[in-house]
Amino acid sequence: MAALAEHAHKPPDLAAKRDHVATLNARYRHHSATAVLTGALNDPEAGKIAMVSSFGAESVALLHLVAMVDRKTPVLFIDTRLLFAETLTYQQEIAERLHLEDLRIIRADQAVLDKHDPYGALKLSDQDRCCDLRKTQPLENALRGFDGWITGRKRYQSATRANMDFFELEESTGRIKVNPLAHWGPDDVRAYMEENRLPKHPLVAQGYPSIGCAPCTSKVAPGEDPRAGRWRGQDKVECGIHFGPDGKPVRNTT
Strand partners of residue 103 = 75
Is residue 239 part of the annotated active site? The answer reads yes
Q: How far apart are CA 169 and CA 176, in angstroms?
A: 5
Q: Which of 130, 131, 216, 239 is catalytic?
A: 239
CA atoms within 13 A on the CB side of 93: 15
230 - beta bridge partners?
A: 217
Cβ(162)–Cβ(173) below 8 Å: no
Q: What is the 3-state secondary structure (H, E, C) of 70-104?
A: CCCCCEEEECCCCECHHHHHHHHHHHHHCCCCCEE
Q: Which of 18, 31, 222, 60 is nearest to 152 (CA)?
A: 60
Element of type H or E holding 35: helix 33-42
Q: What angle do CA 225, 229, 231 make, to 5 degrees?
A: 120
**Active site amino acids:** 239
